[in-house]
Structure 1
Amino acid sequence: MPSSGRTHVRARPERTCVGCRKRAAKHQLLRVTAVEGECVPDPRGALPGRGAHLHPDPACLDLAVRRRAFPRAFRLQGALDTERLRGFIGELVGGAP
């Protein structure tokens, strides 16, 4: 059978960071979900519901909070608590030995 001339490149899923709005590979971003009015980190991607993706960087988190990106991404009204998410990102950036 003759070759079509196409190379087979595996498609890698991309997502957009809700903070900086830059696209990145899905595995480079942290999935976040909303649970009872709180932004919860979902590193395994297993929690139910809508998810938002964010670079695991405090600067991107600050941008997302300032732009009110989480309520918009989750299609919810009002502010969401981000302290748990902030602590999780702080631990990632701080570097656990």
Structure 2
Amino acid sequence: MYIRVLPGLGQVIDEYNRYRSPEVTAKIEYIGEDYIDILFKGSFCYTCGFYDYFEDFIIEAREFGIILSLERIVEIGGGAIVRFKVEGGV
């Protein structure tokens, strides 16, 4: 599946950030053939669960018809770059 243009992804980012910013913001880092890398930055609520933020992104994407699965998480200072595999819905 080739997803250079992923309809609805901008809306997913906007909606995600609407409810989680400034604690955490998501930004498109890279769009590959069948995956997307999203940069998550912010102070995070670690007691809420660091990985919950990434699972929330999957849930938000599903609301816009994009089916994602989490492939990898690379922790960086103040956040993470998360790779999601696009399973369908585009």
Structure whose residues are more often strand by fraction:
2
If the length of structure 2 is used for normalisation, what is the TM-score? 0.37
TM-score of the aligned structures, taking structure 1 as reference length:
0.35
More helix by share: 1
Q: Based on CA coordinates, which of the two structures has the bigger radius of gyration?
A: 1
